Chain A
Amino acid sequence: MLLYVARRLVSMVPVLLGISFITFALVTFAPGDAIRIMLGSETANVENVERMRRELGLDLPWYQQYVRYMTGVVQGNLGTSIVSRQPVAAQIAQRFPNTLVLTVSSMVVALGIAVPLGVLAAAKHHRVADYGAMTFAMIGVAMPNFWLGLVLLIVFGLELRWLPIRGIGSLDDGLWAYARHLILPAATLGTSLAALLTRLTRNTMLDVLGQDYVRTARAKGLRSGRVLYHHALRNALLPIVTTAGLQFGALLGGAIIVETIFSLPGLGLLSINAIRARDLPVMQGAVLVFAVCFMLVTLLTDLVYAAINPRIRYG
């Protein structure tokens, strides 16, 4: 098992190299660069900007820039932001926890809604609860994040004044003060995933409930709740876990929008601002962290398999 994990971790290295190269190439060859944006301002000090371009090595051919950058990364140096001239690693370290908390709580929201609702829908197949759950699933998938976010913000933040409209709370003020800042963003980000997973849970549950061993369990006289959760759900979980793991990437992407609307200083916001300003070192750093997260979550998903289904073994 440990050996397996180690092997998986080592195999991430070439993937990360590839990702860093692709990001670098995309930005380098895409139109627009940070220096030009600075020069475009009528007040810019052209001489100093040109000197900065040289100091940052932005006048070098792209392959030299890439080698320079990667040499830094290997030494644990993610470089300096072109725009703010502050170290990239510090900027990421400060924001990453916020994005992590946001995505994890959105995942909790999604699973917390999807699994019970999906099971209910399957158990009450073709009844009101089923149709209700499927309507939610349809609306949830169709509703764009930015719209849902603004609606929640206006209803619960501006009109009802139940929840804060922006920022993050401090744990020093207690768990509730911290958590209430997260409710709206997590609900916004978690809804579409919840919708997707509800549908999936229902369908897999329906499949499993049609299996012979479920009928056997029922014939033995087990209570329907025990059959549903112990026999059926456990077997239906594998595809749900797979999808949830893969969708984690989508959550990271959605974080960009949700962080903007709810003024959450996270990695998503950092990267979108960096993209707008063509701040290459910050973009690179953010993409690398996103990529590592995604790969770690995939690994974690595989490990969860083994926990759910004892027949799966890694060695």
Chain B
Amino acid sequence: MKLRAVALTLSLLALLLSAGSALAQQPGGTLRIAYTSIQQLDPYKTAANDEINAASLVFDALYVIGKDDFQPVPHLAESWRAIDDTTWEFTLRQGVTFQDDNEVFPAGQGREVTADDVVYSVERFLDVSTAFTLGNIASVEAVDRYTVRITTAEPDPFLIPDSNRLARVYIVPREAVEHFGEEGFARNPIGSGPFKLTSFVPDQSLRFVRNEDYWLPVHLDGVEFVFIPDPTVQLIAVEADEVDVITYVFNIDSVAQVEGTPGLSLHPRGGSYRGLGFNVTTAPFDEFEVRDAISKAVDIDAAVQAVVAPFGIRAYGQVPPWVEFEQDPTLEDLWSFDPDEALAILSEAGFEPGPNGVLQRDGVPLSFTIKTIAGSQVRVLTILVTQLQQLGIDARLQQQDLAVWAEDLQTGNDTGVFFNYSFAGTTGLYALFHSRNHGITNTAFYSNPEADALLDLASRSVDYEERNAAWLEAQRLIMADRAGIPLYFEFGYSIANDRVKDWVVPWGGLNLVTIENNVHLED
């Protein structure tokens, strides 16, 4: 009898234990993410990755940029379709509610997200967003409770695939914005996202807890953002297991430093275009021959190989490999390293060596300072500048603070040659070279009516083949014209420890819980 009681107790105990371990095996944990600075959490009012990452936990967008091929993946919208060239119709997921247990929605009373919320959000975005442009929206209307129609003034094929446009419109509840006011909403965000904000003191503490009512099961218990402003210390912190993830690293020196560290993984995705720009309105760079000669005077391959590889690749154009456009293999033929020819071209253009060995024309030396900001390009450009000097071109390099550099470029000042970059994936070519953007992002002040027309045509083509062809043709014209010299594409990375599973490198907001992936921690 006694023995049986013991056996029963033991088996009960075993049952409890196994249940306990089954619970422990369930994915979960609190993900710790390093960040540099977060001052506010309204996703419409910031271009800072950290702030958008944090805000994206609280809010849902209609779709997310998926983990493969940068394709839009349904999120709050179950599906969408083009009704005609200018009208998109989105069908919303039913039964999704805004987070409750807060000042706006009492516990258990989270209101359902409907088409009206999408209309309100798009209108608010058009009104207050400074960081991103939605484009020329003619109207946005709720057809019924779960159907929204967005009409653009002109055919606009980039509206959805470009990660910087409709993908940035997180759906916000009108009540919350009106209750807290614009300033207060940025400190008390309420959305329909997978995590609720539990504490926020700017640059001090920022914690989120799982939204139990989310329309997908959320694996993580919570997310903690860890304030580490210094990039070097961020690396130390991920090595010391103080944080789990550094979401996006732009600096390939940091990437090289942690590569091969046991327990840490590099997750590559996307990156940036880096090149040389000419202010084509200042002498002598208004002459094609001078720009062409400079492009032939430098050994870009060697410099990129020495400094950037394997964390980047040589660029022959501006269109990066991670956007919807195809790579144009013929671009490679546009560029060559041929110092002798460079000298011959310059000589034909009237440049002859002066008394001090510097090439000059009519007593004016061929002399310029390349303005740049910090980054791997400083070392690449140092190599190129040395090569230019060897040919008798008085080239120098000057590293500037971002604010000074931006003003210098935008006002055209004395900048003849400058470092030029682009983080915007899809429409970088348009930003850097369309004449509409003179003095804003087209700091080359480049105008080419033919290229403008092609870019405009592509921006209105709903047919992919036509769009792709026009875009690549524009790229080819601009490159053949030497409006700039493409140098390389530098890759971007997440650095995460190996316990983090199902991680997707953010491409405009974090993808922690989507229909494709569900991030969790594993021992």
- A309 lies within 8 A of chain B by Cβ: no
A263 x B236 contact (CB < 8 A): no
Chain B proximity mask over A45-59: 1 for CB below 8 Å, otherwise 0: 110110010000000
A46 x B440 contact (CB < 8 A): yes
On whether A84 and B40 interact (CB within 8 A), knowing A36-B403, A36-B407, A154-B236, the answer reads yes
A33 x B242 contact (CB < 8 A): no
Q: Which of A85, A168, A263 contacts B183 (CB 8 A)?
A: A85
A153 x B202 contact (CB < 8 A): no
B130 x A42 contact (CB < 8 A): no
A166 to chain B, nearest CB (A): 6
Enumerate chain B residues within 8 angstroms of A34, measured Cβ to Cβ: 403
- A254 lies within 8 A of chain B by Cβ: no
A275 to chain B, nearest CB (A): 9
B310 to chain A, nearest CB (A): 27
Within the assembled complex, what's the spacing in Å between the Cα atoms of A84 and B183? 9
Within the assembled complex, what's the spacing in Å between the Cα atoms of A155 and B240? 12
- B237 lies within 8 A of chain A by Cβ: yes
Q: Which of A81, A263, A273 contacts B233 (CB 8 A)?
A: A263
Q: Which of B131, B230, B440 contacts A260 (CB 8 A)?
A: B230
- A39 lies within 8 A of chain B by Cβ: yes
B186 x A85 contact (CB < 8 A): yes
Within the assembled complex, what's the spacing in Å between the Cα atoms of A263 and B127? 35
- B464 lies within 8 A of chain A by Cβ: no
Enumerate chain A residues within 8 angstroms of B128, measured Cβ to Cβ: 48
A33 x B229 contact (CB < 8 A): no
A281 to chain B, nearest CB (A): 13
Within the assembled complex, what's the spacing in Å between the Cα atoms of A38 and B45? 11
A263 x B229 contact (CB < 8 A): yes
A84 x B39 contact (CB < 8 A): yes
On whether A166 and B227 interact (CB within 8 A), knowing A85-B45, A269-B203, A276-B402, the answer reads yes
B26 to chain A, nearest CB (A): 29
- A211 lies within 8 A of chain B by Cβ: no
On whether A45 and B131 interact (CB within 8 A), knowing A31-B407, A165-B233, the answer reads yes
- A237 lies within 8 A of chain B by Cβ: no
A212 to chain B, nearest CB (A): 54
- B364 lies within 8 A of chain A by Cβ: no
B441 x A42 contact (CB < 8 A): yes
Chain B proximity mask over A242-272: 1 for CB below 8 Å, otherwise 0: 0000000000000000011111010001100
- A95 lies within 8 A of chain B by Cβ: yes
B202 x A40 contact (CB < 8 A): no
B residues 164-185 in Cβ contact with A at 8 Å: 164, 182-183
B residues 20-63 in Cβ contact with A at 8 Å: 37, 39-40, 45-47
On whether A91 and B239 interact (CB within 8 A), knowing A38-B130, A49-B130, A278-B403, the answer reads no
B130 x A166 contact (CB < 8 A): no
- A11 lies within 8 A of chain B by Cβ: no
A144 to chain B, nearest CB (A): 14
Within the assembled complex, what's the spacing in Å between the Cα atoms of A147 and B232? 12
A36 x B240 contact (CB < 8 A): no
Enumerate chain A residues within 8 angstroms of B39, measured Cβ to Cβ: 81, 83-84, 86, 91
- A304 lies within 8 A of chain B by Cβ: no
B422 x A42 contact (CB < 8 A): yes
Enumerate chain B residues within 8 angstroms of A157, measured Cβ to Cβ: 236, 240
B236 x A86 contact (CB < 8 A): no
Q: Which of B131, B401, B427, B432 contacts A44 (CB 8 A)?
A: B131
B203 x A86 contact (CB < 8 A): no
Q: List 7 A-B contacts (CB under 8 A).
A: A42-B432, A45-B133, A84-B40, A91-B39, A91-B202, A94-B201, A157-B240
